[in-house]
Amino acid sequence: MLGAYACYYLFTGLGLDPFAALPVAMALLFCLGYVIQRYVLNLVIRGPMFNTLLITFGLEVVITYVAQIAFSADFRTVNPSYAGANFNFFGATVPLARLLAFGVALGLTFGLWLFLEHTRIGRAIRATAQNLIGARLYGVNPRHLYALTFGIGAALAGAAGTLYGVVSQINPYIGSGLTGKSFAIAIIGGLDKSIYVLAGGLFLGIVEAMTALYIGPTYTDVVSFGILVLVLIVRPTGLLGRTA
Amino acid sequence: VKFSTKLALAGVGIALVATVPWWGSAVLVQFGINALILATLAQSWNIIGGYTGYPSFGNSVFYGLGGYGVAIAMVQYGLPFPAGLAIGISLAVGFAILLGLPVLRLRGHYFAIATLGLAEVMTAIVSNLEIAGRNVGLILPLVKGDALFFELSLILLVVTTLAVMWISRSRFGFGLIAIRENEQAAAVMGVNTTLYKILAFALCSVFSAVAGGIHAYWITYLDPGSAFDVALNVKMIIMAVFGGPGTIFGPVLGAFVLSAISEILATKVTSLASVFFGIVIVAAIVFMPRGFADLVRRFRQSGWRYFQENIRTYRV
């Protein structure tokens, strides 16, 4: 949601193209995510399991309503000159803005995967997820690392928000619904490799589109969350994963 | 203090609260009904979340089914309110047993997300049902009588709290606590974990469903978005955790304190109320992660250092 608004104000205020605003929005959200994790979430991270979830809910309430006061509750759209442009590809009409958004999202997902698999920091993140004390013994500073991880997550969510603003309408309340969807996608894909979200996302997207077309648009949530529950019951590791 | 004295004190307290509709203003009575219903919901979440250690996001489903049971019975079939409640309870218990069986096999975050998914599925299903009025919802017959609803909610809260009190000192309750602390060990000790978990889930579904039924009849209006609201579920969890999960009076206290804070904020600083409420939640979890009950218990030994100790224990 904040990424979408960052993009909106960069576009309307500075005339920056949404795709050029994307790195700026990511940088802003990274800083915010880093600070939140380092100075708030790190304080409760080893507390009772449920507290991290509740505290992020509290933060979501704060941010949503601050956004409502700052940006107003009006619907906004980011409308670059090519928003309506499309081209014909073997008989299928392809909207340009959506295709670009798809490409960028794909690139970011692959980028994250390569980052987690092949860089020093990526390895440190995965090691900490497996065993905090072990990682610490090998010289990882968990305070910094958790903050970094959350910052990267926030930056990617910000990028997604920017793209969302290009293809859809934004308001201060879009965040919580998208959080639910991202839980579903990550779990359906499987949590052991970050690239699995690609499979989860494509699968869920296609299933939702098919449901809307053949059963009715009001049934998409029945099907997508139904699949989430089924996957959790039958195969809690996700469709592609090995470990829960 | 002796147990009988405590019991007498509690009785006097309840009797005093019961007189509120006779001297309180209409605003106070309405606030009271909401607070009592939220306290009931927090208390029933306490059974599955606090004692058994299964953080359910599906309790809003029980609440919604209770409401819809009453609404459908009264609007579509012209049945009286108690019959509606019975239908609502049976729907909720049926749901708890049928879906608890597979879902209660999951643990921790997975259980939370699965129940969250179930809540979303139920919202979407109900908004497609003709008998439940689809997206638009149902309008119930109007009854004027806030006093009646106040007393009903109070009775419900007392019954729920008595049930939790019984749990906390019964064999069943010790079984649930054993499951929370270490499920495998509990199973080895001869606790039928599947049966216990489902019983706990079904028990909390009964109280949540009655709360939903009373609330729907009181508000006289029901729609899928508000009946199965996940935010309401988060609210019960926050209230239970604020007061102290797995204690008898913690969730009730948490519900009353947080309802009062949010009511005062809403009248004093209208536009910023939600922001402050969010900050209260964040601060509460940072400074008293084990709830108010734990604060009271340990503050005597540690004094103000209590807050510092908490942060030291749980930060990385």
CA dist A199 and B40 (Å) reads 42
First to last CA, chain B: 40
B122 contacts B206 by C-beta, under 8 angstroms: no
For residue B27, is pLDDT > 60? yes
For residue A199, is pLDDT > 90? no
For B:259-288, CB contacts with A below 8 A are 271-272, 274-275, 277-282, 285-286
For residue B132, is pLDDT > 80? no
Give the residue from chain A lying closest to B104, CA to CA. Answer: A233
How many C-beta atoms surround the C-beta of residue A233 within 10 A? 16
Mean pLDDT of the residues in chain B: 87
Distance of alpha carbon B299 from its chain centroid, rounded? 27
For residue B196, is pLDDT > 70? yes
Q: How many residue contacts between A and B have a Cβ separation below 8 Å?
A: 140
Q: Which of B120, B228, B279 to mutate to test the interface with A (most CBs of A within 10 A)?
A: B120
pLDDT at A71: 85
Q: What confidence tier does A244 reach under pLDDT thresholds 50, 70, 90?
A: low
pLDDT at A142: 86
A100: closest CA of chain B, how far (Å): 31
Q: What confidence tier does B4 reach under pLDDT thresholds 50, 70, 90?
A: confident
Q: What is the reported pTM?
A: 0.86
Q: List pLDDT tens digits, range B44-85.
A: 999 998 899 888 988 999 999 999 999 988 888 888 889 999
Query: Partners of A93 in the beta sheet?
Result: A88
A189: closest CA of chain B, how far (Å): 14
Q: What confidence tier does A243 reach under pLDDT thresholds 50, 70, 90?
A: low
How many C-beta atoms surround the C-beta of residue B113 within 10 A? 22
8 Å CB contact of B289 and A50: no
B162: closest CA of chain A, how far (Å): 26
B289: closest CA of chain A, how far (Å): 7
Average pLDDT of the segment spanning B14-37: 87
Distance (Å) of CA B221 to CA B35, B62, B132, B200: 19, 17, 12, 30
ipTM of the complex: 0.80
A95 contacts A86 by C-beta, under 8 angstroms: yes
Encoded tokens for B307: 């807050």
> Is B209 an interface residue toward A (CB < 8 Å)?
no
Mean pLDDT of the residues in chain A: 86
Q: Which of B123, B130, B285, B313 to mutate to test the interface with A (most CBs of A within 10 A)?
A: B285
The better pLDDT of the pair B138, B181 is held by: B181
pLDDT at A82: 76
Residues 6+ apart with CB under 8 A from A67: A1, A2, A5, A172
CA nearest B160: which of B21, B61, B38, B30? B38
Percent of chain A with pLDDT over 70: 99
Three-state DSSP class for residue B10? helix
The better pLDDT of the pair B141, A114 is held by: A114
